[in-house]
Amino acid sequence: MSVSRVAQRGALFILVLTSVVGSTHFVTETRAAGAFAIGKCGAYGRAYDYPAESAARAAALKQCQGGDCKTIIMKRACAAFAVDMANPCGPHGYAVRPKISSSLNEATRECYKFGGKQCVIRAWACDAKG
């Protein structure tokens, strides 16, 4: 086999590999919508890596078993939900931030800010880029 033939095969391999990696990145980018549904007494639902916000919102609401569930969108981010374990139907907090550590910390702070005594993270999720 000639040197030029080996070089052509190597170039073709690199091209195919680059295409596969690039398309995987594209799929991840397009599936970057998530939602949290938060209801009464610590009820929640979560959905992440959906192709559209509306689909993520619907999936999260379907999981939320409490009354009056409201949705929070997380797009290329992380969301966290904290409740007061001393009174699960009382104070709670939530946050959506680019990194999981920030969302966990902020959700807990929010719970304490609204009067929580023993605030803990009830649920969290990150979508494709969070």
Transcribe 61-91 into DSSP letters. HHH--SSS-EEEEESSSEEEEEEETT-TTS-
- Whether the per-residue pLDDT at 96 is higher than 90: the answer is yes
Q: What is the pLDDT of residues 61-94, one digit of tens each?
A: 999 997 789 999 998 899 999 999 999 999 999 9
Q: Which pair of tokens denotes residue 128?
A: 């494709």
Average the pLDDT over 28-56 and give the result: 86
Average the pLDDT over 106-117 and give the result: 97
For the chain, give the mean pLDDT: 82
Q: For residue 109, what pLDDT is reported?
A: 98
